[in-house]
Amino acid sequence: MDFQLTEEQRAIQEMVHDFAEKEIVPRASDIDKSDEFPADVFGKMAAQGLMGLPFPEQYGGGGADTMSQALAVEEVSRASGSIGLTYAAHLSLGCGPIYNFGTEEQKKNWLTPLAKGEALGALALTEAKGGSDLAGSVAITAALKGDEWIINGSKMYVTSGAVARSITTLCITDKSKGHRGLSMILVPQDAPGLVIGKVEEKMGLHGSLTTQVFFEDCRVPKTNLLGGAGEGFRQAMVTLDGGRIGIGAMAVGLGRAALEASIRYAQERNAFGKPIADFQAIQWMVADASMELEAARLMVAKAAWLKDAKERFSHEAAMAKLFASEAADRACWKAIQIHGGAGYLRDFPVERFYRDNRLTLIGEGTSEILRMVIARNILKNQI
Ligand X SMILES: Cc1cc2nc3c(=O)[nH]c(=O)nc-3n(C[C@H](O)[C@H](O)[C@H](O)COP(=O)(O)OP(=O)(O)OC[C@H]3O[C@@H](n4cnc5c(N)ncnc54)[C@H](O)[C@@H]3O)c2cc1C
Site residues for ligand X per CB under 6 A: 89, 93, 123-126, 130-132, 157-159, 202, 205, 210, 359, 362-364, 366, 368-369, 372
C-beta of 171 vs 369, nearer to ligand X: 369
Amino acid at 273: G
d(CA 247, CA 240): 10
Please identify the residue of the shown chain whose CB is closest to the bound ligand X.
131
Q: Distance between CA 13 and CA 3 in Å, rounded?
A: 14
Tell me whether residue 205 or residue 331 sits nearer to ligand X (CB atom): 205
- Taking the C-alpha atoms of residue 193 and residue 196, their distance in angstroms, rounded to an integer, is 10
Whole-number Å distance between alpha carbons of 374 and 176 = 30
Minimum separation from the CB atom of position 208 to ligand X (A): 7
Smaller CB separation from ligand X, 122 or 258: 122
How near is the Cβ of 365 to ligand X at its closest, in Å? 6
Determine contact, residues 293/325, Cβ cutoff 8 Å.
Answer: no
Q: Whole-number minimum distance, CB 80 to ligand X, in Å?
A: 14
Contacts 24+ apart (CB under 8 A), 330-334: 330/288, 330/289, 330/292, 331/255, 331/256, 331/258, 331/259, 331/289, 331/292, 331/293, 332/254, 332/255, 332/258, 332/357, 334/258, 334/262, 334/285, 334/286, 334/288, 334/289
What is the smallest separation between the CB atom of 316 and ligand X, expressed in angstroms?
Answer: 20
Q: How far apart are CA 335 and CA 342, in angstroms?
A: 10
In the complex with ligand X, which residue's Cβ is closer, 246 or 343?
246
Could you tell me which of 296, 375, 373 has the C-alpha nearest to residue 329? 296
Is 364 designated active site?
Answer: yes
Output the smallest distance, CB 197 to ligand X, in A. 14
Length of the chain: 383
CB of 150 to ligand X, least distance (A): 21
Q: In this complex, which beta carbon is closest to ligand X, that of residue 168 or of residue 262?
A: 168
Q: 137 or 337, CB closer to ligand X?
A: 137
Closest CA to 208 of 351, 352, 111: 352
Closer residue to ligand X in complex, CB, 98/276: 98
CB of 369 to ligand X, least distance (A): 5
C-alpha distances out from residue 335 to 19, 266, 344, Å = 25, 10, 10
Residues labelled catalytic: 364
